[in-house]
Structure 1
Amino acid sequence: MKRQSDKKTENAFIRTLVYRLYPSKADQVRFQSYCDYRRYIWNQYKDESDHAYQRYRYEKTYYAKLGMKVKAKDFCSKYPTLIRTKKQINHDKKAWEYQYPSKIALMAMTDYDNAMSNFINKAMPDWGKPKFRSKRNPRQGFKLPAKSFKLSGKTITVAKGRKDKKHGNLVLKTRQEFLDYPTGTVSFYMEKGRYYVAVPYIIPKEKLKSNTEFKGTAGIDLNVNHYNLYDGQHQVIDLNMKQLKFYYERIKHYQRLLARKRKFDKKNIGSHNYLETKTKLQRDYSRVVNIQNDFLQKLVLKLCQKYERIIIEDLDVKHMKMGISSKGLHRSMFGAFRHVLTYKCEQYPNELIVADRLYPSTQICSKCQYRKTGDEKITLWGNKKHHTKHNEYICYQCGAELDRDENASINLYQYLESKWYKEKSRTEKQTV
């Protein structure tokens, strides 16, 4: 069982937990057929929506020549009337469709409507038009609303189709017991030969609060392969564990084998040896992800139970990964660390302070607050003017010699007392 995502409501937290399922061979076939049915409805509904969208674009250009504007919201409100509604699609079902739960089709169509409305709003992250769902995608799944399944102990029961006389209800088992809190939309999916279910729970805040007493402040500087923490004493959290090094070497070996097979034997890519090495590569990747998630959850839990106030940087991870050390940044889990830390701090509760993105924590001296500018700045390659390394910080005013990452963590620890934070708070008050 692993935690997937947590969201906050007024009086409770919506916590989503992922359970692994262990279906029989017959249930695996039914599970796969439910996934295929959702994919069929999605693609069918997409074809009809594309015709309406083409008409919207035609009318938009036509009215633009006349000096009139057609808003993008009109597509979500007006043009779905050109498509068959959800009730009409359920009414026009074919005979073979009645052996599947009708809620699978309804959830597929609602998800596509939400994806299309996000496509029209270009301000949404990862903006793009909904794509065709292929059966070759490594991840297949379907969704069900709250009233179409039952949770009891270690089993989840899915209601069968209305005219399915051959089978009973689909009963899937797990090794962990489900919680007794109310749930919402549940998503079933299969990936790499394993079956999972993601169950959201609405848990009251009172039952999530801990009785630990928080003490002190911690400043955390995120770096490739290690985190630097300062709470009065400097600590280095190493991310390169022995297990990960072993799996990284084996992943590199399997990738070389696959690249060699693609280069010299392009016709037999689907051979037995090729598929065998591919499954081994996927197995090692999944093990690395599990080790990293387990380490991250335990690390954040210790931080939230120990410190009252945690200060981190606001890093632009998406653009940082476009640089040279993209693999190291990806393995250092900058984005995942901040995501887990935000909802953990709301749960306990802690005060999470995110320093401004322009705050130069690596360029300021932690002892005399001297800031390096121009040719004196420290880069990833050090400083050419003074011939210093990238991990050395030498203050040219007070003469202090510190490690670069240690100096940055101390500056984050002192962020609330810095001139940068005080000026920022003043400007915010003036604007308000």
Structure 2
Amino acid sequence: MLKVLKVRIYPNKEQQITLAQNFGCCRFVWNYYLNKTNTQYEQTGKGLSYCDMAKDLTQLKKVKEYAWLKEASSSALQQSLKNLEAAFKNFFEDRARFPKFKSKHGKKSLRYPASCSLKDKGVKLPKLGIIKAVIPKNIDGKIKSVTVTNTSTGKYYASILFETKDVPTNKGGKISGIDLGLTKLVTVFDGENCYKVDPIKTTKRYAKILGRRQRSLSRKKRGSNNRRKQVKRVAKYHEKITNKRQDFLHKLSRKLVDENQVIVVKNLCVKGLADTKFAKSVLDTGFGILVNFLNYKLDREGGKLVEIDRFFPSTRLCNCCKFKNDSLTLENCEWDCLECGTHHDRDENAAKKCDSFSQNREIGGRLAVSSNQ
């Protein structure tokens, strides 16, 4: 089993300079061969493979004009070419957009695929030596790679990919259905009890402060030191918003995983919801992030995440008699069933329908279930 541990690292001045050179070399290699592949494709109708780019890179280092590429780790440059090939593959298989040229501004990252280890409370990397790091736990396993990231706020992180033994788990717990929403982030029904969790709305909380910082940034002269300082101040608030949202979603997903063996959730189209008038609220709640957290945490512990087809009318169907209320609108938070007369809370009814579906009481129709395990 492969696991990732992200830790904060503290490079000294010399290591920061070396990392900046490595970031620049990897960025140049990406942009150079992206441009070369595009040019060759326009001329011949065929692009460059990883082997072609790797051979050409070896010759490029021998050119006096590009001799500075030798200062960077060769494995990191080769990994940049592999990432470019993977980006083209994802594009042609309709999994991602066409690869873009990288900018020297903003977030920077590079990956060391070999010769990495943990020594003396730090991370040892090629041509960098030991970088001081805060490692919260022991890593029992072989380190496969280390990805170093430099954020817009000037912080450095190392994502350590390591291999561990598969530990068989017999996870126990309940089967719960959850409904995702904007007013209530999750409504959970475990077959007996139902409870709701409110979203923290981090973007809305810091919108006024962030707006003042961004207006101040717009008044700064381009290229000035004051503008660079203000860019960093704005980036710090964006980072704070992201960290608070992820911390909340990690704690919520951990609570749900600890209590349940199987979690049933609707497969929402977040990209489509982001094109509506509720775009800001949808992106602030982090539906997709929460589902991803539930998926990998359940998978690690022997649980299962079941996703119901997004077109399944869980909100409109009565969980008692299965009557479908087609007149239900977004303004109706509560409604009464026209057949059995049961009074429903909109979100609780949707969570109960997901739970009843997980118990195999609903079969057929448009209930396409995909299991992520």
TM-score > 0.5 by shorter chain: yes
TM-score (norm 1): 0.76
Query: Are the equivalent residues in 2 in contact too, given 1:220–1:409 (CA < 8 A)?
Result: yes
Match of 1:255 in 2: 211
**Cα deviation, residue 363, structure 1:** 0.3
Q: Aligned partners of 1:427 and 1:236: how far apart in 2?
A: 24
Contact map agreement 2:264 2:306 (CA 8 A) in 1: yes
Q: Distance in 2 between matches of 1:292 and 1:156?
A: 28
The SS at the match of 2:134 is: coil
In the alignment, structure 1 residue 144 sits paired with structure 2 residue 112: yes
Q: What is the aligned partner in structure 2 of residue 51 from structure 1?
A: 39
Match of 1:4 in 2: none
Equivalent in 249, 268, 274 of residue 321 of structure 1: 274
Distance 1:87 1:276 in 2: 39
1:31 to 19, 37, 41: 19
By how many angstroms is 1:31 displaced? 1.4
**Equivalenced residues, count:** 365
Q: Could you give the per-residue CA deviations for residues 242-280 of structure 1, whole angstroms, max 9, x where no partner exists? A: xx4xx7443433324523663xx4x72555665554433
1:284 to 237, 253, 267: 237
User: How far has the Cα of 1:181 moved from its partner?
Assistant: 0.9
* 1:220/1:228 contact within 8 Å kept: yes
In the TM superposition, residue 338 of structure 1 has moved relative to its aligned partner by 1.0
**8 A Cα contact 2:146 2:160, kept in partner:** yes
Q: Which residue of 2 aligns with 1:179?
A: 139
User: Partners in 2 of 1:149 and 1:417 — Cα distance?
Assistant: 47
State the distance in 2 between where 1:214 and 1:83 align.
49
With structure 2 as the length reference, what TM-score do the two structures score? 0.87
Task: Tell me how far 1:46 sits from its aligned partner.
Answer: 2.5
2:121 corresponds in structure 1 to 154
- Give the alignment partner of residue 154 of structure 2, picking from 180, 185, 193: 193
Q: Which residue does 1:307 correspond to in 2?
A: 260
User: Matched residues in 2 for 1:399 and 1:364: separation?
Assistant: 13
Determine which of 305, 329, 338 is the counterpart of 1:379. Answer: 329
Distance 1:108 1:406, change over 3 A: same
Q: CA deviation at 1:76?
A: 5.4
Is the CA contact (8 Å cut-off) linking 1:153 and 1:178 kept in structure 2?
A: no
Aligned to 1:400: 342
Q: Which residue of 1 aligns with 2:74?
A: 102
How much has 1:281 moved relative to structure 2?
2.8
Aligned to 2:287: 334
Q: Matches of 2:59 and 2:228 in 1, distance apart?
A: 43
After superposition, the Cα gap between the structure-2 partners of 1:30 and 1:350, relative to the gap in structure 1 and judged at 3 Å, is same
Partner of 2:167: 206
Aligned-partner Cα distance in 1 for 2:118–2:54: 36
- Offset at 1:417? 5.1
Q: How does 1:3-22 map to 2 (within 5 A)?
A: 13-22=1-10
State the shift of 1:117 in Å.
Answer: 3.0
Q: CA RMSD in A?
A: 2.9
In the TM superposition, structure 1's runs of 4+ consecutive aligned residues that sit over 6 Å from their partners are: 424-428
- CA deviation vs aligned residue, 1:362-406 (integer Å, no higher than 9, x gap): 001112211123xx2x222x3xxxxxxx21222111222221111
Unaligned runs of 5+ in 1: 1-12, 58-73, 161-168, 383-389
> In structure 1, what is the Cα distance between the partners aligned to 2:52 and 2:126?
31
- Counterpart Cα distance in 1 of 2:341 and 2:253: 35
Structure 2 gaps, min length 5: none
**Residues 309 and 352 in structure 1, CA contact (< 8 A), matched pair in contact too:** yes
Name the structure 2 match of 1:233.
193
CA distance in 1, matches of 2:3, 2:286: 21
Amino acid at match of 1:126: A
Compared with structure 1, are the counterparts of its residues 258 and 402 closer, same or farther at alpha carbon in structure 2 (3 Å cutoff)? same
Q: Specify the SS of the correspondent of 2:322.
A: coil
SS at match of 2:118: strand
Q: Evaluate the alpha carbon distance shift between residue 253 and residue 273 of structure 1 in structure 2; reply closer, same or farther with a 3 A threshold.
A: farther
Moved more, 412-421 or 184-193: 412-421
Q: After superposition, give the CA deviation of every residue in 1:211-250 in whole Å (9 maximum; x if it has no partner).
A: 7x62322110001142101111110112227xx4xx7443
Structure 2 CA distance for partners of 1:195 and 1:416, relative to 1, 3 Å: closer
Q: CA deviation at 1:202?
A: 1.4
Q: CA deviation at 1:35?
A: 0.8
Tell me if the contact between 1:101 and 1:159 (Cα under 8 Å) persists in the aligned partners. yes
Match of 1:126 in 2: 96
1:251·1:285 contact (CA, 8 Å) conserved in 2?
no
| Whole-angstrom distance in 1 between the partners of 2:109 and 2:76 | 10
Q: Which AA in structure 2 matches 1:186?
A: V
